Amino acid sequence: MTRAPGAGTQLECTVFGASGATRLVVVLREDGAASVDPDARATARHDVRVLAVQLRSSEVAAPGAYGGETAGSTTVAALELVIDQQVPDPGASIGLVGVAGAGAEAVLLAQRLGSRVDRMVLVAVPSVDSALERHLAEQVMSEVTADTLILNGVDDPDASADAASWHEAHLRNARVELIPVTLYGPDPHLGIADVWDRALSHLTARRGSG
C-alpha cells in the first residue's frame, strides 16, 4: 500500500486487478484490510483495475455529515486528485464502492465527479441519524446520477434494511438487495468479501442492465 498525495491530506492506496483494464473501480473502506483484494477469484472474472483506498478515522466524516468543510469533504477533494492520476482522461467513467462508514464519502465523491461515476455500490450503508444530517445528505444524494446498487445485510445491526431503503429513496437511480448474511457465517455484519462478485457485476454491466 502506498501513500498518495491529495488536497491537504494523503491517502493509503493499493491497485490490484487487471493492470491493462480500462475500467477503474474505486473502493473506499475504513478498515485495515482495505489493501487486500476482497475475493481474488471474483476480481479475476472481471476486466477491471481496482483502486482500493483506506480511509482513517481522521479522514472520514461521520455518516451523514455532508455539509461544510468536514474531514470527509477534504478527503473527497484528495480522492479526486488521486483518481485524476489513475484516469487522466476526463471523459472516462469509473465505478465506485463505499463500504460501511465510508459510504458517505462515496456519495460525496459521486456528487463531485458527476457523470464520471456512472455506477456505484454502497455496501452495509448505515443510517443517517440527526434531522440536520439527513437534510444535508438528501441534498447531496439528489444530485448523484450514478446507477446505484445498495447491498445491506438482512439482520445487520449497523446497516439495516431501513437504512438501505432510506438511501434508495433519496438517490435518483438506486435499488436495494438485502443479503442473508448468515449464509456466510455467524457474524450478522455484511462484509465486502460477501458481495464482491455481485458488486463487480453491477459496476461492469452496460448502462441500463445488471
Among the listed ranges 39-43, 102-106, 184-188, which one has the minimum average pLDDT value?
Answer: 184-188
Beta bridge partners of 96: 26, 120
Q: Mind listing the domains of the chain with CATH numbers?
A: 2-203 (3.40.50.1820)
pLDDT digits (tens, 9 = 90+) for 57-104: 654 554 445 555 555 677 888 899 999 989 888 789 999 999 998 999
210 vs 201: CA distance, rounded Å: 7
Average pLDDT, the chain: 87
Q: What is the DSSP string of 91-119?
A: T--EEEEEEGGGHHHHHHHHHHHGGGEEE
pLDDT of residue 74: 79
